[in-house]
């Protein structure tokens, strides 16, 4: 599969510990800690990564949590050109699981915004959340 760029953003609320927000992100994605940086006076955490290997943990969690079909629907709904955008529940991510959410509607601490960019996003969706074999 071709080059994949991953961008993750989430707000760091005044009541949150920055390290715990980082842990929520790294529980879901294999991102080197140096790629995670606070921006805007530590009010937002931004992480960037490249490569399919960064998504292996995420793919495995989708399978372990048995939410591949739901993930596939979310990915297809968030597909715009060569990008896939979706949101994850920050509290669930901190616990090491995947739960999709709306931008801010379901989590009092906000959500994690994830964007994947690649030349063939449908191929990426098929790799992350393949259809169940008959």
Q: What pLDDT sits at residue 34?
A: 44
Q: What pLDDT sits at residue 127?
A: 95
The DSSP letter of residue 104 is S
3-state secondary structure of 37: strand
Question: Cα separation of 116 and 94, whole Å?
Answer: 21
Residues of the chain with pLDDT under 70: 1-2, 32-42, 104-107, 133-134
Burial 38-76 (b: 16+ CB within 10 A, else e): eeeeeeebbbebeebebbebbbebbeeeebbeebbebbe
> Rounded to two decimals, what is the model's pTM?
0.88
What domains lie within the chain, and their CATH numbers? 5-128 (3.30.1440.10)
């Amino acid at each position: 599969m071709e080059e994949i760029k991953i961008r993750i953003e989430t707000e760091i609320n005044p009541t949150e510990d920055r390290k715990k927000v980082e842990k929520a992100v790294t529980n879901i994605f294999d991102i080197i800690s140096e790629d995670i940086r606070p921006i805007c006076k530590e009010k937002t955490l931004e992480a960037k990564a490249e490569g399919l290997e960064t998504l292996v943990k995420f793919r495995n969690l989708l399978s372990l949590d048995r939410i591949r079909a739901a993930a596939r629907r979310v990915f297809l709904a968030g597909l715009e050109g060569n990008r896939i955008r979706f949101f994850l529940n920050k509290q669930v991510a901190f616990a090491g699981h995947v739960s999709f959410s709306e931008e801010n509607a379901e989590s009092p601490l906000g959500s994690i915004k994830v964007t994947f960019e690649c030349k063939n996003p449908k191929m990426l969706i098929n790799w992350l959340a393949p259809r169940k074999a008959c």
